[in-house]
Chain A
Amino acid sequence: MLHVTLPRWFLLSLVLLLALMPLGATTFYLQLGAKILIMAIFALSLDLLVGHTGLISFGHAAYFGVAAYTLALITPKYEAANFWLTLPVAVAAAGIAALVIGFLVVRTTGVYFIMVTLAFAQMLYAVFHDTKLGGGSDGIYINVRPELTIAGFKPLDLENPAQFFYLTLIVLVVVYWFLSRILHAPFGRALAGLRVNEQRMRSIGFPVFFYKLGAFTLAGAVAGLAGYLAACQFGFVNPEILAWHQSGMVLMMVILGGMGRLHGAVIGAAAYVLLQELFSSSALFGGYAKHWQLPMGSLIVIIVLALPHGIGGMIDLAWRRRGFRQEEVAQNADG
């Protein structure tokens, strides 16, 4: 039932390695690293729905975007906003949006679910694109990044790329830990049951609607966390961040990394961002770099065909070959 759980020492050493990155890396790589970590949080949130609950949301960018816009709209023009205040507000806004939309969409299943999640996200896109809210189609700048000062003490300065990188790393670690706990808790077990056999879940007495709505809301709130950080990083928000391209991108990350495994979402986000960086590098590809989507798309098709369980699935297989945690692998038969 559970996919291979990567050993704690492995994850910890990975985090340590990342934590050492600011010592050697240039600003460019730190920003790229932070972008990957933010996308990893976003992908984790979607995987909770797609991989763990079996709900294929094609409108997940909506909640990412709602939080990003919330930060942009409540940040004063020439001053820094308070991080400790704006973060919960932005995440709550995303969560509430997901709760309201989820209330309507989780009644549907299959392809209808895909279509309605997409439709609601596009409605939000239209709101920000076609009205003056948040600067319309031009978007809106966040001139000063939020400040983390509490009682005169400033633990991290978000204007500093290394420190911003640390913030994203901390948030990713917390989200990863939180989701892995949730997935082992009764709630997460029930979501797994929903993915495998919804009819059976009903007939043993689970109020399926509330479980799906809970997952949808939680996923929306975590996506909001990623959206907030993305808005902090880029200092700019426009309607494209809640458009269907963005929803498609994060879905691609989840599939690339292998659905239904937390480490898969992180790997998928890293792979996607790095591949995009590679193929759009004009130093490597010159004039062809602007057509990065072509080689990128082809490569993704090849990866998905060659690795039906994504890159994460390949890694699981490697662990399995080494006889690692055989008993948990043995429970992992539904892919």
Chain B
Amino acid sequence: MAEPILQVRNLTKHFGGLAAVDNVSLEIRPAGLHAVIGPNGAGKSTLINLLSGELSASSGQIIFRGQEIGLLAPEQRSRRGIARSFQKTNIFPSFTALENCRLAAQSRQPRPLAWMRDALSDESMMFTATQVLAAVELSGRAGDLALALSHGEQRQLEIAMCLATEPELLLLDEPLAGMGTEESLRMVELIKKLSASHAILLVEHDMDAVFQLAQVLTVMVDGRLLASGTPEQIRADREVQAAYLGEPENRP
């Protein structure tokens, strides 16, 4: 088996007396989808925020491609190859869809201070932006303001922005939240496609999607890691059933 791209060791985050993430360890492989599930308040989003650098851990280690990144700022982690989407859509609403992606691609430009050059005349940035929009099937909306896109399209746009930074690891925080059936299906297809070439850590409440997408599942409850394994192992796990999934006979 390939070396894990991300290793989390004994990660803990305290908010006052509350351990939102409590001694969590996990490993993520270079390609494929690793889903983290658990009831509300289990610490899933906190875990993503710790990995992306939005929050700093109280203790524990985060090792990305063999290097400790626990003390790096979010922008430094992004430059190492970690991109994330947020639970609440986080884009530049007043920019066009294309500009959202172009700006993300700009952060990877070797000469960020080409002071007097019109940014829109830079072909490599525009090329990347166009390409990632096509990858999420938003080409037709390139010229529209991001705020004019539907909720689902905004979520797709956010993923396109992540892709424009050419990441190796994608952290997706509930990408299906608030989506209609059709939008969900499209997003699931997209994530499936991306997981062939990227390592993805997915936090999601939609169990159908999770079991469809994940190669590895981790269950968190009250900040602690309850179980980890293949979807089949998790489905069969009695503890998980009791804590989260409900009794087997209740499930379709």
Contact = CB atoms under 8 A, between A and B. Distances in A.
Interface of A: 1, 181-182, 184-190, 192-193, 196-197, 199-208, 214, 327, 330-334
27 contacts: A181-B118, A182-B115, A182-B116, A184-B118, A184-B119, A185-B114, A185-B117, A186-B114, A186-B122, A187-B112, A187-B113, A187-B115, A189-B106, A190-B112, A193-B95, A196-B93, A196-B95, A199-B90, A201-B103, A202-B74, A203-B90, A204-B78, A205-B78, A205-B165, A214-B113, A327-B143, A332-B94
Given A202-B75, A204-B78, A204-B83, A1 B94 contact: yes
B75 A207 contact: yes
A315 B141 CA distance: 29
A112 B205 CA distance: 38
Contacts of A205: 75, 78-79, 107-108, 165
Nearest to A181: B116
Given A331-B95, A334-B93, A204 B116 contact: no
Contact of B75 (A197, A203, A214): A203
Contacts of B95: 1, 192-193, 196, 331
A200 B92 contact: yes
B208 to A, nearest CB: 28
B126 to A, nearest CB: 12
B73 interface: yes
B84 interface: yes
A184 B90 contact: no
A206 B75 CA distance: 6
A203 B94 contact: no
Contacts of B214: none
A189 to B, nearest CB: 5
The residue among A188, A190, A206, A334 with the most chain B CB atoms within 10 A of its own CB is A206
B78 to A, nearest CB: 3
Nearest to A205: B78
Interface residues of B, number: 43
B106 A203 contact: no
Nearest to A333: B94
A203 B78 contact: yes
The residue among A182, A192, A205, A331 with the most chain B CB atoms within 10 A of its own CB is A205
B104 interface: yes
Contacts of A334: 93-94
B147 interface: yes
Interface in B110-167: 112-120, 122, 125, 143, 145, 147, 161-162, 164-165
Q: Nearest 5 pairs between A and B by C-beta?
A: A334-B94, A205-B78, A205-B107, A204-B104, A202-B74
A85 B224 CA distance: 67
